[in-house]
Chains A and B, each alone.
Chain A
């Protein structure tokens, strides 16, 4: 087991680093982050599930869009390392209160947090906030754009299922469903390719337009996407898309794009099935698949806290 080197930093604000997406992260840095997550996962199996690594640091969670699951996961990751946590939740536009986003951030920033975890329904807000604060910023999901910690825990889960994992090269991830509206899909495409893996995208034409992820393989046929895939990720289909000008019906979607045992027969024999949650059972994924032997959905959930611990640790005290 690797050991976490604990050093005493001068000030996190002086050594600011962000996780907005993976643009300025290298594959090696991400590999090191996975190693750190392994250590954190060990910590979480102990009787006392807490280390003093982030003692004296303050993590602020700014959730402009509700997501209890993600927020609790980050807060647990912070507290398990003895960081203080302040939480800010706000629905809707801040202008309705006569205040700009920047005003809101400036007010919160008076509390001098070292790192903000930001979630917003619109793409780009974590980038805007990163411009306005000296603190580090972690993107916890912005609109359709990016959800880097989800992609990290997905890849981490995949890596963890193969003893003596020899890297992502030659490994193919099939992402199936509403790709256009999915930050999980965009982040997974970015990360998986950065790590050297292959990606194939699949979905109905209105949800997988040609402009999405140029250069990435795509198909509107589920069988083509699944053929030889090492991992299959079914994306959540929002209920409001089912009865809209985008799709004929849920029935049509289920018939053509639901990830089923039959369809998975085309996949690699060891293929894993993933889902970012929450599940629409028997819509994008058959229950027997979600609960079946290939499913790593529970492992994905379990990976959330150690990955987020590793992210907070790496940004606040880790070596670059």
Chain B
């Protein structure tokens, strides 16, 4: 039996503040928690939390881990280590790899490889892979959802490429509903999006960069919501970036459509003004929008319209991001800074409550997937994160576990850094400062 004791933590989960206390972890589960329960307990490891915040490990329903085939950008080992360093205990990986994860064998390989990474405390979050909706992301033929689900896929998505064909989207939702699978959509109308590399607006016209209008997103969100309404399937709209798309979602939620939605850390904190630097690090899809859109997304978060925060962690090589803006790929790495970024920019700024933020990274994604809400309670899996809310530290991309060692927030001083992450009761990450 392995035992780990955490002494004197501030305990918080989706049910609220649980006061200060100790947690005893045995064989991957919480064996005891409460004031004084850890005193005098013999353990393989004792962590002096010193009043830091202990909460269930975070859940990310949207990360690009690039395996198989794009290991030059990221692989399971680096990506899941990065996730653990970011406080995430569970990650849903996207299927737009090379080859695309469109066959049960590929799903099973990913699960087996990720499970092996967690053996021996090498430091990796749990992987729950997504599989693609269409073969090869070509948007033509459906994959075999039942077989993919049996192999371990928890979500169906062509993320990275919008599903242009409405009939294909409908069939996917009909199958997904029957199997109880969530369909996640990358909702952008390809023809309206065109060759846009940034938000279409005053800034794109001034910079002479091809623009991608919010209408491209809103119109596809509307179609996807209609298909959800038509089929009854659970549709999760990924990375909502703009006011118009969010308003469409609100409209359909009010109608009772089985639709949930996600926003990303970058769409909550950056605007299209960042492109004035002509730095392709800021090239993402959907694009960074205006300050007006950011304000609306934050408001939607506060009003409970947003179900989850997903990182859309999308690592690339530095060389790929040192191309011109037309040639550079879409996406930025952020899984290691998501929590401190949002804690600092939203919670410390007084825009969002701390427990509201955690809800969007714990209970919210769990509800989207139909998983049990993660709780600090006896018998629960010991997927936990200890967060230091006081220590202020600069973002240092060179210290990232991710292979993508660059960041839009490099040098920015943030608070709310994960201090220790446990997966299955094993230490998957500890800040250098935590090692005693």
> Which A residues fall within an 8 A CB radius of B?
64, 93-95, 99-103, 120-125, 127-128, 142-146, 180, 183, 186, 209, 211-214
- B207: CB under 8 A from chain A? yes
**Cβ–Cβ contact A101 & B208, under 8 A:** no
**B207 lies within 8 A of A128 (CB):** no
A122, B204: Cβ atoms closer than 8 Å:
no
* Interface segment out of the listed B101-109, B323-331, B359-367: B323-331
Closest to A145 in B: B208
A-B contact pairs, 23 of them (CB 8 A): A64-B324, A93-B323, A93-B324, A93-B327, A100-B318, A102-B322, A103-B322, A123-B209, A124-B278, A125-B278, A127-B278, A128-B279, A143-B209, A144-B208, A144-B209, A144-B210, A145-B209, A180-B205, A186-B206, A211-B201, A211-B204, A211-B205, A213-B205
Which size bracket describes the interface of B in this complex? 20 to 34
Encoded as 1 (CB less than 8 Å from any A CB) or 0, chain B from 295 to 328 comes to 0000000000000000000000011101111110
Chain B's interface: helix, strand, loop or mixed, by majority? loop
Q: Can you add 13 more A-B contacts, CB < 8 Å, to A122-B325, A211-B204?
A: A95-B319, A95-B327, A100-B318, A121-B326, A122-B327, A123-B208, A124-B207, A124-B209, A144-B208, A144-B209, A211-B211, A212-B205, A213-B206
Q: How far is the CA of A143 from the CA of B278 in the complex (A)?
A: 12
Q: In the bound complex, what is the Cα–Cα distance between A94 and B205 (angstroms)?
A: 26
Which residue of chain B has the shortest Cβ distance to A186 in the bound complex? B208
> Given the known A-B contacts A145-B208, A145-B209, are A211 and B202 also in contact in the complex, defined by CB atoms under 8 Å?
yes
| Chain A hits for B322, CB < 8 A | 100-103, 128
Asked if B319 contacts A99 (CB within 8 A), the reply is yes
Q: Which residues of A contact B210 (CB under 8 A)?
A: 144
Chain B's closest residue to A121 (CB) is B326
How many angstroms from the CA of A183 to the CA of B204 in the assembled complex? 13
B200 at the interface (CB under 8 A from A): yes
Chain A nearest CB, measured from B91 CB (Å): 28
Give complex CA distance A93, B200 in Å.
24
- Which of B207, B208, B209, B278 counts the most chain A CB atoms within 10 A? B208
- A146 partner residues in chain B, CB cutoff 8 A: 208
B319 to chain A, nearest CB (A): 4
Q: Which residues of B contact A121 (CB under 8 A)?
A: 324, 326
**Counting chain A CB atoms within 10 Å of each CB, which of B200, B210, B324, B327 scores highest?**
B324
Given A100-B319, A123-B278, A214-B202, also A183-B324 (CB < 8 A) = no
Query: Cβ of A103 and Cβ of B319 under 8 Å apart?
Result: yes
**Please, which residues of chain B bring their CB within 8 A of the CB of A95?**
319-320, 323, 327
Q: Tell me, rounded to whole Å, the shortest Cβ–Cβ distance linking B357 to chain A.
A: 34
Name, among B201, B206, B318, the residue most crowded by chain A CB atoms within 10 Å (CB to CB): B206
Considering only residues 51-96 of chain B, those with a C-beta below 8 Å from chain A are none
Chain A: minimal CB distance from B185 (Å)? 25
Distance to closest chain B CB from A92 (angstroms): 9
Taking CB atoms, residues of chain B closer than 8 Å to A186 are 206, 208
Distance between Cα atoms of A208 and B92 in the complex (Å): 43
- Give the contacting residue for A142; candidates B206, B208, B211; CB below 8 A: B208
Complex-state Cα separation, A145 to B208, whole angstroms: 4
| CB-nearest residue of chain A to B197 | A122
Determine the distance from Cα of A100 to Cα of B317 in the docked complex, in whole angstroms: 10
Contact with A along B180-223 (1 / 0, CB 8 A): 00000000000000000000111011111111000000000000
A101 to B323 Cα, complex, angstroms: 5
CA distance A184 to B125 in the complex (A): 52
Which residues on A sit within 8 Å (CB–CB) of B319? 95, 99-100, 102-103
- Complex-state Cα separation, A144 to B200, whole angstroms: 14
A142 to B326, alpha carbons, bound, how many Å? Answer: 11
**Shortest beta-carbon distance, B102 to chain A, in Å?**
26
Q: How far is the CA of A143 from the CA of B325 in the complex (A)?
A: 10
- Contact check, A120 vs B208: say whether CB atoms are below 8 A apart: no
Collect the chain B residues with CB atoms within 8 Å of residue A142's CB: 208
CA–CA, A146 to B279, complex, Å? Answer: 17
Decide: A124 and B320 in contact? CB cutoff 8 A. no
Write the nearest CB–CB distance from A131 to chain B, whole angstroms: 9
- Tell me, in angstroms, the Cα distance from A64 to B325 when the chains sit together: 14
Q: What separation, in Å, do the CA atoms of A103 and B324 have in the docked complex? A: 12
Q: How far is the CB of A24 from chain B (nearest CB, A)?
A: 14
Report how far A303 CA is from B277 CA in the complex, Å: 32
Would A128 and B278 count as touching, CB distance under 8 A?
Answer: yes
Whether the pair B325, A123 counts as a contact (CB closer than 8 A) is yes
Report the separation of the CA atoms of residues A145 and B279 in the bound assembly, to the nearest whole angstrom: 15
**Contact check: which of B208, B278, B279, B323 meets A183 at CB < 8 Å?**
B208
**Least CB distance, B203 to chain A, in whole angstroms:** 9
Which residues of chain A are near B205, meaning CB under 8 Å? Answer: 180, 209, 211-213
Kindly provide the distance from the CB of B202 to the nearest chain A CB, expressed in whole angstroms: 5
Is there contact, CB below 8 Å, between B207 and A211?
no
Q: A99-B319, A100-B319, A123-B278 are in contact. Are A128 and B208 (CB under 8 A)?
A: no
Q: Chain B's nearest CB lies how many Å from the CB of A226?
A: 24
